[in-house]
Amino acid sequence: MIKKIPVESLTVGMYIHDLNCRWIDHNFVRSQFAVKNDSTLVKVHETGVRELYIDTAKGTDLDEAPTKEEDDRRQDQAVKEILRETPQKPKPVKPTDYHQELTQAVTLSKDASQLITDTMNDVRLGKQVELEKTEQTVTKMAQSLMRNPNALMGLGRIRDADQYTFEHSVSICTLMVAFAQYLEMEPEEVLQIGIGSMLHDIGKIKTPLEVLNKPGKLTDEEFKIMRHHVVMSREILEKSPDISPIALAVAAEHHERYDGSGYPKGLKGEEISVYGQMAAIVDVYDAITSDRCYHKGMPPTEALRKIYEWSQFHFNPTLAQQFIRFVGVYPAGSVVELKSKHVALVLAKDNQDPLSPSVLVVFDTKDRKLILPKERDLKAHDDSIVGYTIAEKWGLETRKLMELMI
Ligand SMILES: [Fe+2]
């Protein structure tokens, strides 16, 4: 049986089924292993993991611990309750705006990806970061997200494994700007948050490629080198005379954790700025929902459950709840299964009626074949979402599906 236990209850003789963190946050050779001695115990504690899963069929049990299913149900219930609360001042989105915005969003997302590629190349050549260009691009992204957040946010789900760092930066920037707007932050604050998010991982250009792209597990030394990218991001950005404290905070604090278990400084609670606290949540959400990490990308429901679960230790809990409400039940770009036995892509969520977004129907699950893509507004249609699905389950590729809507 798989059970969830607090790390303090872990003893020699137990078998770890899942460390309950991203691969990048630990450097064990495997994520499933027996705890054979005290040094392994110490190493698990050092990861900063606060709760983890054990397999009681392969090692010692802990009677009072809940099973994974019981715990997942409890977390899901908590997320549902958070989502049930009305979002702050829901902004109505006109579906017609979506298509107009999408054309601009496609160009914008390509420009942003090119910008971060160029910026990284410049810094590699010893040049300074050109903040002016970043500012122009982030301003345009913020304007697009104000007009209709669904277009640019939906595009953020398109990933290319080779382009991970670039697309991750653009996606983080999009999510952070939209989240800041949702929190009704001042436009200048939003802009600086966007600049910091776009450049938060710039320090990775100093990480040797053999470490950055290593397919297997990192050694202790390589792990340290990998983590050093945060310090490098700060150093590179500090060289730009116009960099703002907000943008710096986003980059320098995106791996800090609310309980002090993060890096590089191990800052705790309110020692981390609200910008760093936001970046920590968004960075983790983006990583676990993108294809590269964690079982080929988690569906948003599962990702939100994880954010909630980890917010008990790693994130500011209030901010995490706001983020959960911001993402909502069916964010644009997610793949869903309909009652009518079709697979569809969520195009635009409707804050007034979050359970009935407009979708693009693309696949017939009865006949298991692609159909001519058809847009369907679930509010005005006798059809509804049964739940999330994984495109690959139907032999589809999320990326190709997304291209259908462009
Ligand atoms: Fe990072």
Question: What pLDDT does residue 332 have?
Answer: 82
Q: If 0-12 CB within 10 Å is exposed, 13-18 middle and 19+ buried, where does residue 46 land?
A: exposed
**How far does the centroid of ligand 1 lie from the alpha carbon of residue 201, in Å?**
5
Average pLDDT score over residue span 290-306: 70
Q: Give, to the nearest 10 degrees, the angle between helix 317-327 and helix 164-182.
A: 100
**How far does the centroid of ligand 1 lie from the alpha carbon of residue 165, in Å?**
9
Average pLDDT score over residue span 203-211: 89
Question: What pLDDT does residue 87 have?
Answer: 57
> Which amino acid is it at 397?
E
Mean pLDDT estimate for the chain: 87
Question: What pLDDT does residue 190 have?
Answer: 97
**How far does the centroid of ligand 1 lie from the alpha carbon of residue 189, in Å?**
21
**How far does the centroid of ligand 1 lie from the alpha carbon of residue 204, in Å?**
8
Question: What pLDDT does residue 295 have?
Answer: 47
What would the pLDDT profile of 31-82 be if each residue is shown by its tens digit?
789 999 999 998 888 888 889 999 999 999 999 999 999 999 998 888 888 8
Average pLDDT score over residue span 247-260: 96
**How far does the centroid of ligand 1 lie from the alpha carbon of residue 406, in Å?**
30
CB neighbours (10 Å) of residue 295?
9
**How far does the centroid of ligand 1 lie from the alpha carbon of residue 206, in Å?**
13
Strand order in the sheet with 335-338: 369-377, 358-364, 342-348, 335-338, 385-388
Which pLDDT band, with edges at 50, 70 and 90, does 96 fall under? very low
Strand order in the sheet with 33-34: 2-6, 51-55, 15-18, 33-34
Which pLDDT band, with edges at 50, 70 and 90, does 243 fall under? very high
Tell which wins on pLDDT, 396 or 109: 109
Peptide bond into 6 cis (omega under 30): no
**How far does the centroid of ligand 1 lie from the alpha carbon of residue 213, in Å?**
14
Question: What pLDDT does residue 8 have?
Answer: 92
**How far does the centroid of ligand 1 lie from the alpha carbon of residue 333, in Å?**
24
Q: Both tokens of residue 190? A: 């939003």
What would the pLDDT profile of 299-323 be if each residue is shown by its tens digit?
788 889 999 999 999 999 999 999 9
**How far does the centroid of ligand 1 lie from the alpha carbon of residue 126, in Å?**
21
Checking if the pLDDT of 294 tops 50, the result is no
Average pLDDT score over residue span 286-308: 75
Tell which wins on pLDDT, 337 or 162: 337
**How far does the centroid of ligand 1 lie from the alpha carbon of residue 326, in Å?**
22
Which pLDDT band, with edges at 50, 70 and 90, does 399 fall under? low
Q: What sign does the CA torsion over 26, 31, 37, 38 have?
A: positive
| DSSP symbols for 169-213 | HHHHHHHHHHHHHHTT--HHHHHHHHHHHHTTTGGGGGS-HHHHT
Which pLDDT band, with edges at 50, 70 and 90, does 159 fall under? low
Question: What pLDDT does residue 95 have?
Answer: 47
Least confident segment among 163-167, 209-213, 231-235, 328-332: 163-167
**How far does the centroid of ligand 1 lie from the alpha carbon of residue 228, in Å?**
9
Most confident of 155-164, 298-307, 363-372: 363-372
